[in-house]
Amino acid sequence: MGFSFIHASDIHLGRAFSGLSLYLEDEDIKKIYKSAVEKAFNNLIKFAISESVDFVLIAGDTFDDAEQDFASKIILKNGLQQLENAGIKVFLICGNHDCLSSYNKNTFNFDENSIVKIIGLNTKNNAELVIKDKNGNDLALLHAISYEKETFYDNPAKYLTPAQKGIFNIGLIHCDMDGNSDSPYGTCKYGELNELNYDYFALGHIHIPDKTQKNIAYSGTLQGRNSKETGAHGIKYIKVDKGSIIENQFIPLDVIRYDNIEIDVTQAKDITQCADIIAEKTDKEAQECELYLIKVVLTGLITFSSELNEEFYEKITEKIKSDTNNRVIISEITNKTNIKYDEEMLCADEGISGKIYNTVKNPNKTEEIYAKVAKELEKMLKKCDFSDSAQELLSKEITNSAVQKCLNIANSIYESEYKEN
């Protein structure tokens, strides 16, 4: 028998955005921020109803705090009511931010007949629950754990029983997978979960979603709240047929998106074409959300590196903001381009630029530079407890950076001499 479900987590209703000083001067942007979390949650509800999923799993931290504000309670209650009206069941567990005390009867009134159930250890429901369809047929066996308090030092894997044969087994836990053993957030190992042989593990706690097709996955937070929670955020949409997963998709539902993107501007012949490439790339990345807040790193080989200055950054930022009706905002631009130089002419040059170029392009000289860098860094790196391979990698990165800067200097000197003559 086929069925489908949604895996969501870490909605954090009531959590504020951080680092907004750059954006809140504009009233339109303020409005987007004010409604973003509710809209993202409503996007989840609309998607579930439009796809007629059989049930929704929420893997903890639905609220940001055990003492929620009234508005957050109403957002959740209204959304869950829509799902109940559509005949879609909801199973949620309690995480470290919304332990059991978050869900009192005065607000939610989830009785035994309710389509919405809070499940897991320390609740009135069993840790194992058979999910049935509207006709009473078994769909899946749900194994779950809820947080009774804000901390849960135990390994959740030891509370879960192995998969039962003849039914689709789902694990629903809020955990710090492969984290430190002294973590207060249900630390467990990937291998321990894998040994239980469940068909799918719906995990919560980590805010960056796992967008791969794994059967042990974090859906991530529904809406990123700061510049560290980058990239698309949303839900996992799972389809099952004949006891196997036939579709496992990550569905973006966020309203505001933070991102760090690299843009290669090698194809640009001048500063104008460079601006066009930046605009095209940022617009393409922003199609899925209402507000796209990005830090841009420019890479590639160009001949106009000196023109990538603060004035250019300010103008391109304002242009993109205006052209997209305040939908795309660049908060920072970093120039990591390198100068495009003529190797043959630099190699043949008999002046100082040629000497610099031939020195740094000489493999023996480069190795000599690397050895000196490695020696200077050795003591510092050991204090940082770097492995030997990490030390070597960092040394090479610094050496390569120094070589590239020397090549840029050689090219600048050569171009200056050439133009003067």
Tokens of 312: 């250019």
**Contact partners, residue 19, CB within 8 Å, separation at least 6:** 226, 227
In this structure, the answer to whether residues 213 and 351 fall within a common structural domain is no
Tokens of 376: 């200077």
More confident residue, 391 or 236: 236
In this structure, the answer to whether residues 100 and 165 fall within a common structural domain is yes
Report the pLDDT value the prediction gives residue 379, as an integer from 0 to 100: 64
Pairing verdict, β 244-252 and 234-241: antiparallel
Residue 262 in this model has a pLDDT that exceeds 70: yes
CA distances from 145 to 50, 64, 202, 414 (A): 29, 18, 11, 68
Residue 368 in this model has a pLDDT that exceeds 50: yes
CATH number at residue 18: 3.60.21.10
Most confident residue range from 31-40, 148-157, 192-201, 320-329: 192-201
In this structure, the answer to whether residues 143 and 51 fall within a common structural domain is yes
Residue 156, judged by CB atoms within 10 A of its CB (0-12, 13-18, 19+), counts as: buried
Question: What is the Cα–Cα distance from 203 to 144, expressed in whole angstroms?
Answer: 10
CB atoms within 10 A of CB 90: 21
Residues 162-214 pLDDT 10s: 999 999 999 999 999 887 777 888 899 999 999 999 999 999 999 999 988 88
In this structure, the answer to whether residues 334 and 347 fall within a common structural domain is no
Q: What is the dihedral of CA 29, 33, 35, 37, to 10 degrees?
A: 150
Residue 356, judged by CB atoms within 10 A of its CB (0-12, 13-18, 19+), counts as: buried
Residue span of the structural domain in which 50 resides: 3-254
Question: What is the Cα–Cα distance from 84 to 190, expressed in whole angstroms?
Answer: 34
Question: What is the Cα–Cα distance from 16 to 33, expressed in whole angstroms?
Answer: 9
In this structure, the answer to whether residues 377 and 409 fall within a common structural domain is yes
Residue 3, judged by CB atoms within 10 A of its CB (0-12, 13-18, 19+), counts as: middle
Question: What is the Cα–Cα distance from 296 to 275, expressed in whole angstroms?
Answer: 12
In this structure, the answer to whether residues 68 and 170 fall within a common structural domain is yes
Tokens of 125: 């429901």
Q: How many domains does the chain divide into?
A: 3
Report the pLDDT value the prediction gives residue 124, as an integer from 0 to 100: 44
Question: What is the Cα–Cα distance from 286 to 100, expressed in whole angstroms?
Answer: 38
Report the pLDDT value the prediction gives residue 207, as an integer from 0 to 100: 93
Residues 219-256 pLDDT 10s: 999 999 988 899 999 999 999 999 999 999 999 999 99
Last residue of a domain, one of 339, 371, 387: 339
In this structure, the answer to whether residues 110 and 195 fall within a common structural domain is yes
Question: What is the Cα–Cα distance from 73 to 65, expressed in whole angstroms?
Answer: 11
Question: What is the Cα–Cα distance from 39 to 78, expressed in whole angstroms?
Answer: 12
The answer to whether 9 and 202 are in contact (CB under 8 A) is yes
In this structure, the answer to whether residues 210 and 292 fall within a common structural domain is no
Last residue of a domain, one of 228, 254, 280: 254
Helix (H) and strand (E) counts in the chain: 9, 18
More confident residue, 380 or 152: 152
In this structure, the answer to whether residues 53 and 69 fall within a common structural domain is yes
Residues 64-113 pLDDT 10s: 877 777 888 889 889 988 998 999 999 988 888 888 766 665 556 555 55
CA distances from 351 to 3, 405, 410 (A): 74, 18, 10
Last residue of a domain, one of 206, 239, 254: 254
**Contact partners, residue 197, CB within 8 Å, separation at least 6:** 162, 163, 169
Tokens of 386: 């770097």
The answer to whether 220 and 9 are in contact (CB under 8 A) is yes
Q: What is the dihedral of CA 22, 24, 25, 31, to 10 degrees?
A: 150
In this structure, the answer to whether residues 370 and 311 fall within a common structural domain is no
Q: Which of 45, 47, 20 is nearest to 32 (CA)?
A: 20
In this structure, the answer to whether residues 139 and 287 fall within a common structural domain is no
pLDDT interval class at 303 (50, 70, 90): confident
In this structure, the answer to whether residues 170 and 112 fall within a common structural domain is yes
Q: Is 34 left (phi over 0), alpha (psi -120 to 50) or beta?
A: alpha
Question: What is the Cα–Cα distance from 28 to 51, expressed in whole angstroms?
Answer: 31
